[in-house]
Amino acid sequence: MINDEESFFLAIDRNSLAEQAIFDALADIDDEEYYTLFEVEVEHSCGQARVQVYPERSGTLYRCLNCGMAGIIGG
């Protein structure tokens, strides 16, 4: 049986990988795509999903359209 600490860190890992995938998808966006809402297809912690992203200079806001998780990457 998986203990609390293992499941905690596995969840953090999954989330970090998903955030990295979102970040990578934004690696080559153009300047004019900052401060606009658009969608990318990435491997999220819930599986393959479309994710809305709103890149700002200070970080990237995102919301997964599959599981509904939302947050900020970077900052």
Residues lying near Zn ion in the complex (CB under 5 A): 44, 46, 49, 64, 66-67
- In whole angstroms, the minimum distance from the beta carbon of 55 to Zn ion comes to 18
First to last CA, the chain: 36
3 state SS of 24: helix
- In whole angstroms, the minimum distance from the beta carbon of 22 to Zn ion comes to 10
Cα–Cα distance for residue pair 5/24, rounded to 1 Å = 28
| Cα angle: 74, vertex 25, 29; to 5 degrees | 85
- In whole angstroms, the minimum distance from the beta carbon of 70 to Zn ion comes to 10
Q: By C-beta, is 47 or 59 nearer to Zn ion? A: 47
Q: By C-beta, is 30 or 68 nearer to Zn ion? A: 68
